Amino acid sequence: MSLLRSGLLAAALAVVAGTASVPAAPAQADDRAGLREVMFVGNNWDGTADVIESTGALTKVGRINVIPDKEQRLREIYLNPVKLAYFLGIRETAGEGHDQFVDDMYSTPDGAAVVVSRPSFADVVSIDLATGAINWRFPVSGYRSDHMAVSPDGTRVAVSASTSNTVHVLDITSGKELGSFKTGDKPHENVFSKDGRYLWNMAIGEVNTALDHPWLDFTKGDRRITVVDTTTFRAVRTVDMRQRLDAFGRGDLSDSVRPVAFTPDEGTLYFQVSFFNGFVEYDVATDKITRVKTLPKNPSTSEDRTTWVNDSRHHGMSMSPRGDKLCIAGTMDDYATVVDRASLQEGPLVPASKPYWATVSGDGASCVISESGADRVTAIDFATGAKVASVPVGDHPQRVRIGHVAKGWTGPAAR
């Protein structure tokens, strides 16, 4: 019997990651054990994380320095020629001329710490939210850390080590490695299934070369989805979207799967791909692409693919808790929009400056995007598609994640 029809894979197909498509925690968690629900905004270029309200006006609560050990890390890098070469390479490619100090972050279940991946330092650290001190540090394999995911129970965090084609799974409290697995080239997005039994990784391939013409797509490397059992860390399934896209008649699209969103029933996967202003719908059980949606282009956007950041055109998507609306960040086209999932009709195009990520507000009413070109975070109402709030944050916000801090917290104490 083929793997697709086996009982093991059937179980895997039944549980697709939900953390990318619904809020990480319900709003009532505010009252749990004296915690307050917030959003963490990673300011990639200045090495801080702004903490803002998770609903309403998105008012700023506090700020965290996620690189308190910057001088020590830089000394290590400058004394190692190989590390220095990668550090400078990250600055000139993925960093657009800037160091990448924070990519992703999740708070611990008790709201005592935030765990952060730091690409330019090739590590993951736990920052004490009371003092701002580092609790633990985990250097990833290779020379760059990237997207993370937290397990539904909040006890494990997965991080992509993009230059070693590896995902590490860590204990969120101690930083101890619990396991790891190999992926395709340049692992990127990670998403746990709702029951925590499976972890999905999307490898995007090489996105920092200028070989961006469609006929050079073969130079971009091994791009695939890897699904692993989180007990054994063995792959239970791999998906090569090249075959699925070709079968659907869209051989023109890249098979580099970027941000994703899953339906609440975990049966349908939506994803963005390199160079495309739109997204793809994939039925998990039948293993087939079912629809492709092309979204409007901004007439001001250059058609020169080499000018698009890290092979992106649109980068960032989230789904309303009911599963009836998708929110899309049109990164290079400078807008965001809410799309009706049944009809795939987009709503108003909300102007936004290089929106780089999309998540869901704590109350589930809004899509929250990071405007990396304007250093702002903006909320868009799922029901109306209109902007309802916008606040300034630090330099080049990217990932935005729901988390928790202690009630009354306003930032680490001065040290």
Q: Give the whole-angstrom CA distance, residue 228 versus residue 15.
A: 12
Q: Which DSSP category does 253 fall into? A: S
**φ and ψ at residue 111, rounded to 5 degrees:** 70, 15
Q: Give the whole-angstrom CA distance, residue 388 versus residue 367.
A: 10
List b or e across 374-391, with b for residues whose CB sees 16 or more CB atoms inside 10 angstroms: bbbbbbbbbeebebbbbb
Q: Which residues contact 210 (CB under 8 A, 6 or more apart)?
A: 306
Q: How high is the pLDDT of residue 413?
A: 77
Which segments of 30-129 does DSSP mark as H helices, in order?
Answer: 70-78, 81-92
Contact 377, 391 (CB under 8 A): yes
Radius of gyration of the chain (CA): 20
Q: What order do you get walking across the sheet with 123-128 strand by strand?
A: 104-107, 113-118, 123-128, 134-139
Average pLDDT per consecutive 10 residues, the chain (415 residues; last block may be shorter): 35 38 40 87 98 97 98 98 96 94 98 98 98 98 98 98 98 98 98 96 94 91 97 97 97 96 96 98 98 98 94 97 98 98 98 98 98 98 98 98 97 73
Check which CATH number belongs to the domain holding 173 and give it: 2.130.10.10
355 within some domain: yes
Contact 336, 358 (CB under 8 A): yes
Q: How many CB atoms lie within 10 A of CB 27?
A: 16
Pairing of strands 288-294, 317-319: unpaired
411 within some domain: no
Q: Which DSSP category does 376 fall into? A: E
303 within some domain: yes
415 within some domain: no
253 within some domain: yes
Q: How many separate domains does the chain show?
A: 1
413 within some domain: no
First to last CA, the chain: 62
Q: How high is the pLDDT of residue 354?
A: 98
323 within some domain: yes
196 within some domain: yes
Domain membership of residue 68 as a residue range: 3-406
Q: How high is the pLDDT of residue 32?
A: 63
Q: Give the whole-angstrom CA distance, residue 149 versus residue 300.
A: 35
Q: Give the whole-angstrom CA distance, residue 65 versus residue 219.
A: 38
